[in-house]
Amino acid sequence: MVLSELKNVAQEASEAFSRFSSLQLKVATAQPEISAALAKLAMDSKERIEIRIPAWERSIEEILLTWRLP
């Protein structure tokens, strides 16, 4: 069970950062001007990741405690 939780955390974080990286590339190629919609999408994605990071960290801390790792 703990291993599946760790895999879920890793997968969720990986997918979120992958989506954000794709948006960053779109923003970079749209320079010097980007649409308001693309800018909002990138900012919303960044904010969602920032909100999720503490939960990912807590999940990892719980797994470390369960496995009795430092």
Residues in CB range of 51: below 8 A, 6 or more apart = none
Indicate the pTM of the whole model: 0.80
DSSP annotation string for 7-50: HHHHHHHHHHHHHHHHHHHHHHHHTT---HHHHHHHHHHHHHHH
- Count of CB atoms situated within 10 Å of the CB of 9: 19
**Residues of the chain above pLDDT 70, percent:** 99
Model confidence over 3-32: pLDDT tens digits?
A: 899 999 999 999 999 999 999 999 999 888
For residue 18, the number of C-alpha atoms closer than 13 Å in the C-beta half-sphere is 6
* pLDDT tier for residue 2 given thresholds of 50, 70 and 90: confident
Give the chain's mean pLDDT: 93
**Four-residue CA torsion sign, 45, 48, 53, 59:** negative
pLDDT of residue 69: 82
